[in-house]
Chain A
Amino acid sequence: MRATDVVGLPVVSIDGGEDLAQVHDVVYDPSRRLLIGFTLRKGGFLGGRMSSVLNAEDVVAVGPDAVMVASGEALSDRSDASTGLADPEGTVQVLGTAAVTSQGQRLGVVSGVIIDTRERPCAVGYEIRESTDGGQHGPSRFVPISDQMALSADALVVPVEVLDYAGDDLDGFGRVLDSYRTANGKPQNPGSHRVGAETPGASGGPPLKEQQ
């Protein structure tokens, strides 16, 4: 699913059945390609920003309808959280960044971060939307995140080899990832124990899904 689809979801405790908060924003560290966690707001109509945050490692599951945590203790105080969550503005803003190929061709802008939510949520791809001359949104391409990508505040450089694996819809992106990883023979996220192609296929459904 897109990281932005998580915004607004309730955070629900498995041991209590209570909604503890709503996801306010998704904090992503592009340099380490890690989803660090979520900033939170109170639920409801006039829900204000909360001082509590949720580290990605304290998340049990991210589904289309809720972010599940074991208990209320999963929420931590902003000041105790890892640096990215304590100061979300400090991370590079990736959405809206221009995407270009390593051979100098303009691709469009990064319009989404695709996250894998099967276990500990992590970023696995970028959605790149072609910008047309009229300023309207063109078609989207979904590219796997690769070690060879370079990202700064100015641009995301996509290696042309990675572009060969780009898919044009989110539903098929799980297969895109699998074929990319099989061809490259190594895990995408060295810091993560979860890799699509090597995950036992017990779960059945596709790893990435669009919100209904």
Chain B
Amino acid sequence: MNDHEQQAPPPAAGSPPSSVEPVSLADMVGLPVMAADSAEHLGEVKGFVVEPSGRRVMKVHISGKRRKAMFVPWSALTIGPDMVMASAANAAEPGDDDRDQDTANGDLTLVGARVLDTTGNERGTVTAGEVEPVTGRVVELRANGASVGPAQIHSLGRYALVVDATPWL
């Protein structure tokens, strides 16, 4: 019959449309940030400014040369294995809102955040996070031995990352 034709394995269910591997936020911390236009070393990755929904990284917080917190929009970055390339040196800017400042002060963090589910149970802390390199969207977080997907994330604030209880049920 047609047993020759249907042998190609179907694409894995739920795999992202792009073939780009997600990047680990923990692996990015400490990487040098280099400006592609000026070849200038801008600093090292220190942390991530995450939008209030907790589902997308908006900016990378870098330690500037004069120990001044600087921020590069995720959209201006290309993440390589050895360093992070910023499209231009002037993409790095001082923080312009409370969320930037809270991140720079260590009051707001995704990896390391207390995890609280919507039933009021604490679920440890975020131990790892993977994001799509192009969009900065969170693909998966790990907390308390469970995998948390973006649809299960409600918010990230200074107190906690609030998520559904389903990963632990």
User: Are A62's CB and B162's CB within 8 A?
Assistant: no
Distance in Å: Cβ of B155 to nearest Cβ of chain A? 4
Distance in Å: Cβ of A92 to nearest Cβ of chain B? 28
Q: Pick from B2-10, B29-37, B116-124, B132-140 the stretch touching chain A.
A: B116-124
A66 to B162, CA, bound (A): 11
User: Are A15's CB and B159's CB within 8 A?
Assistant: no
The interface residues of chain A, by DSSP majority, are classed as loop
The interface residues of chain B, by DSSP majority, are classed as loop
User: Are A61's CB and B159's CB within 8 A?
Assistant: no
A12 at interface (Cβ–Cβ under 8 A)? yes
User: Are B159's CB and A68's CB within 8 A?
Assistant: no
A18 at interface (Cβ–Cβ under 8 A)? yes
Distance in Å: Cβ of A71 to nearest Cβ of chain B? 9
User: Are B169's CB and A204's CB within 8 A?
Assistant: yes
Interface size classification for chain A: 20 to 34
Given contacts A12-B116, A13-B155, A16-B52, contact A65 B122 (CB under 8 A): yes
A19 at interface (Cβ–Cβ under 8 A)? yes
User: Are A16's CB and B157's CB within 8 A?
Assistant: yes
| Interface flags, A1-22, vs B, CB<8A=1, else 0 | 0000000011011111111000
User: Are A14's CB and B162's CB within 8 A?
Assistant: yes
Given contacts A12-B162, A204-B169, contact A17 B156 (CB under 8 A): yes
- B residues contacting the other copy or chain, number (CB 8 A): 19
Given contacts A16-B52, A17-B162, A204-B169, contact A68 B119 (CB under 8 A): yes
User: Are A18's CB and B157's CB within 8 A?
Assistant: yes
B142 at interface (Cβ–Cβ under 8 A)? no
| Interface flags, A157-192, vs B, CB<8A=1, else 0 | 000000000000000000000000000000000000
One of B119, B155, B158 near A63 (C-beta < 8 A): B119
Q: Which residues of B contact A128 (CB under 8 A)?
A: none
User: Are B155's CB and A17's CB within 8 A?
Assistant: yes
User: Are A66's CB and B155's CB within 8 A?
Assistant: no
Distance in Å: Cβ of A73 to nearest Cβ of chain B? 14
Distance in Å: Cβ of A194 to nearest Cβ of chain B? 15
User: Are B118's CB and A61's CB within 8 A?
Assistant: yes
User: Are B52's CB and A61's CB within 8 A?
Assistant: no
With a 10 A CB-CB cut-off, give which of B54, B116, B117 has the most chain A CB atoms.
B116
Given contacts A14-B155, A17-B160, contact A64 B116 (CB under 8 A): no
B154 at interface (Cβ–Cβ under 8 A)? yes
Distance in Å: Cβ of A27 to nearest Cβ of chain B? 19
A178 to B119, CA, bound (A): 22
Residue of chain A at shortest CB distance from B108: A17
A18 to B102, CA, bound (A): 13
A18 to B107, CA, bound (A): 11
User: Are A17's CB and B120's CB within 8 A?
Assistant: no
Residue of chain A at shortest CB distance from B123: A65
User: Top 3 closest A-B pairs, CB basis?
Assistant: A63-B120, A17-B157, A19-B159
User: In the complex, given contacts A14-B155, A61-B120, A62-B120, what are 20 additional A-B residue pairs having Cβ atoms less than 8 angstroms apart?
Assistant: A9-B120, A10-B159, A12-B120, A12-B162, A13-B162, A15-B154, A17-B52, A17-B158, A17-B159, A17-B160, A18-B157, A19-B159, A60-B118, A61-B118, A63-B119, A65-B122, A66-B116, A66-B160, A68-B116, A68-B119
